[in-house]
Structure 1
């Protein structure tokens, strides 16, 4: 702890300095009020200042008042030192902004006791400041969550009408395409039976060969639009409803559909889930969010690497379903691993992440009587493993 001494009397100054240094304090000595004020305005200013009342250039009272007015970022603990011991002077010193008042003559034990009080006060101030920053960060995060919840609520209201508006033309496209596909097959059969297919016109030949594939592509596009609308509705209502019996493979299928647009062309996702895996009892949309967050993190971890692979495995283990999501990224640094589930902890640059994603899905899993674990794979990359209890009272066979 650094302590400033501002004392114009050389004997008193030497005594003060000797007492403090013997007790392992780092001491900065000044001889007048102006030097004391300038020292206390520096970035590395001492945390505690002992100011004599009467000094050249600026009195101790003036130094205190000026410090409190102009140096507010890290306010020091100030002890006013004076030979005045009347009540009026004590009140004046404290009201000027001093934290404590020490009258001359004083003993070394009293001086050290008052400095230790200052250390405790500064420690409490630092603790309160840390808590205040954490609460401010928490408030900002909660505000963002409320804004997000409001947007998602609005999206939920709009999704039904939006789905209706999209599904109507999609239905027309799908129905007409299927009709054209059936008619095309009939037309081709008739042309073949009549030997009316031209063999020497490259344009006609191209059309005859490519049209079935184009019709199939249209139907796949229609199905893709339908899945996007379905996923949007599910994601908008992900926090609603009650726990129901559900299959982990069905939830993963929806999550992968939602993540499809962020999967890079060079990345491969391999799924290894037995078809006979029993059901769990859960909020499907919440578990879907767990998958989405972990898959998204794995994709981001692999970044712009020339190749990437995500392996998703699930198995039944000790009355629970265990799911493992492994990537081929750089892995989790050793110093990051113990803090990875802490709220607001993130390794992403400012603005790219809130540090809440893993904390939220860990809470989701714990609310389902499950758990989440992070580690580094032996062969490289990160592996996240979570487990969920089985819906043991009511099992059913997985849908085909």
Structure 2
């Protein structure tokens, strides 16, 4: 690349000597006779990056041109050599302080000039590389920042995003992908897609998907071997190079279980309501009809059993209606906390007794383990009893073991809070239900039959009560082994 050089010399002979010499050395030369003209050239868009300026010139001297170049609002790379007959140290210092990069005394030696101009050219080249590198680094930083913003957005997406390399191994998996595909958040990198999808059933064989040539393939993923459905829609996008050779792929997965079962969820209430309401009403109606056909002596004999059934079914019916009304109330109004010192063991024991009364025929072991330092909370006794009754009741309602074991462990937590953990040995909750169990009208039952009491709103109400006291509630479970619900409430002071 030919370097452009500006010469500003008022002496015609010296100017011509410089112009011829620099041209012979391979430079593109622009020659001016005074400082004003040199300054105009240096302000141009295509200004020479190397300038040789005489100190004393008409209009504007060399040091003034140097100062103006260094004070430009948009600094540019300009290497300046001052030529002068001044040889005192203070003159050299003044010239360099004005902005010159080098200084030569007249008369100059052509070989020295050529060497100094070569040094200036080399420095300009290095400076330009540094500038280019800085721009590249800035561009790279901007791209990295954008990639980080994109990665954060992807990680928060509700759809599962998985990227694959040319060997069909995972290179990216967001949180939704880890949840839906049950991946270990720390061990998914470079896992083969075959291993990731091995526990699932695909509507299109994976071998066929790998061999496909279309830009995009749609297929479905489902989980076999469980009565609780997990239905996923998947879209595989293949990325190819310029030669149409496969390089990578992006797999987008959406949980459509709720969408596919929307009628089951929305109309589920309309489906469940008749069953759940008709069951007690039918029993009441049936036993009422029975009393009409019994002789007085038979009626007197059967009356204790009939009245017991009536009492139980009326209580069931009342509980169903009350819970639905409570849920509607909590949905429309903000629950108000009522903090008061409460003895946890006393309230928990009361909740256990009430739950035992609801399930008198169930062989259940309900145990308390309350740490001495966490014996009291700042919470309404009614609210705490409601929470514990719901969690204990759910454990017995969905129990599938001959002996149901439910344990309440209470310990001190950080920041002046008390941690409650209710653990059972029931059937467990599928991982994809962890977030949904706290929604309204969600019951983990294969068919809405009315045989499982309640509306599926209890955990939603529990979450609202816990949230009113600034607490959190989480669930952890293993299918076939049991479930733990953990929540926090403020400790009593």
Name the structure where strand makes up a greater proportion of residues: 2
Q: Name the larger-Rg structure.
A: 2
Q: TM-score, normalised by structure 1?
A: 0.45
TM-score scaled by length of structure 2: 0.37
- Structure with the bigger percentage of helix: 1
